[in-house]
Structure formats: C-alpha cells, structure tokens
Amino acid sequence: DKGHIITNYHVVKNNSDKIMILYDHEEIETKLIAFDDVLDLALLKAKTNAKHYIKFSNKSPQKAQSILVAGFPHAKAVSDDLVITGGIINSLKGAGNNTSMLQIDANINRGNSGGPIVDKNSGNLVAVATMKLIGKDASIDNINFGIKSSQVRDFLEANNLKVTIKNNKFNISDLESSTVFIYCK
C-alpha cells in the first residue's frame, strides 16, 4: 500500500534507467530499489498509494491447489486488458529440482513475467510467474514456473519491508486493481 511492486529481475534488468508502470490509466515512473539475480526478483517503488494489493498466505502451496495467474501476455499486443488464466500447482519444485520454485499448468507467456500467481479461493499470493519451458519438441505444453511466495517474502523482509499476512474475502476486481503493467522506456 506504499507503492512497492514486485516483478522479475529479467523484466527490468537491461532497462533499469526508466521503468514505468501503468496504474489506474496513468503512467508512473518507478525506481528499482532492490533485486536478486538468482531468484529473479526485483523490487520497484512508485510514488503512489494503492488501495488494493495482494496479500501473503500463511499456508504453504500444495500440489493440485487451484490457482489464477494474472498478467499481460505478449505485452499488450493481444489486448490491454489484464488476462487471467487458471490451473493448478503440478509440482512443488521447479526445473532441476529447484525448491524456490513451483510448477503450474496455467499458461505463462511473454508479458506474464513478474505477475502474480494467487490462490483461486483466497486471492493470496502463491508465487510470482517467471518462465515457461520451451523446447524443440512440440509436445512440451503447459510446463510453467513461479517463484514461491515464501521466497518473495524472504526477499522483501531482507529489504526491510513488512509483509501482510491476512485471510480476506477475495474479489477478482482486487486482483485486477493490484496487478500493474510494467514497461521500460
């Protein structure tokens, strides 16, 4: 609620001079204040006070847990409307047995990077979308990864930010209001 934004470091890494967000139909400049290249997380700060933000759960993710992924696939080339896809958590490990990640079957495309993966029922953060497996074999489909919310929480706390853990009534409009389009100029 103080203008802090989490995204993937790979989204802003090469253009960290002028990082912008589109929030409430307004372009707002942000500042990169922290990053973790290994986790692929970046913390941005914008001069805005958001009314809605995604809260953390005190529960660990579970296999077969229903989730929603929000983002702007293909950087608005398809639409400027936030796209929400659904699916489940398939594995509690990422590629190479990476325990800081989880695997989901909900689509992640270019433009979803850094977007929230939330529990379908509570709206609490489960992970941050980071990548999809792409291979030469056309049979590879829907193998997508997110950085677990516990890793995001550790990253925020290491950068002196308090994390809100709360169960609340979830409205899809809250997810839409708290997911911003990030681009570099």
pLDDT digits (tens, 9 = 90+) for 148-163: 999 999 999 999 998 8
Longest alpha-carbon distance in the chain: 46
What pTM value is reported for the model? 0.91
Q: Would you say 168 and 116 are in contact if contact means Cβ atoms under 8 Å apart?
A: no
The residue assigned the tokens 């929400």 is 84
Q: Is 113 an active-site residue? A: yes
Of 54, 25, 26, give the one whose Cα is nearest residue 174: 54
pLDDT digits (tens, 9 = 90+) for 41-99: 999 999 887 777 888 888 899 999 999 999 988 876 777 788 999 999 999 999 899 99
Q: Which long-range contacts does 46-52 make (Cβ < 8 Å, 24+ apart)?
A: 46/3, 46/5, 46/21, 47/3, 48/3, 48/23, 49/1, 49/2, 49/3, 50/1, 50/3, 50/23, 50/177, 50/178, 51/1, 51/177, 52/174, 52/177, 52/178
More confident residue, 129 or 178: 129
* Cα-to-chain-centroid distance, residue 83: 13
pLDDT digits (tens, 9 = 90+) for 7-37: 999 999 987 678 999 887 889 999 999 999 9
Residues present in the chain in total: 185
pLDDT of 105 higher than 70: yes
Catalytic one among 40, 57, 174, 178?
Answer: 40
Token representation of residue 120: 């379908």
Catalytic one among 113, 149, 174, 178?
Answer: 113
Q: Would you say 8 and 41 are in contact if contact means Cβ atoms under 8 Å apart?
A: yes
Of 61, 38, 47, 50, give the one whose Cα is nearest residue 19: 47
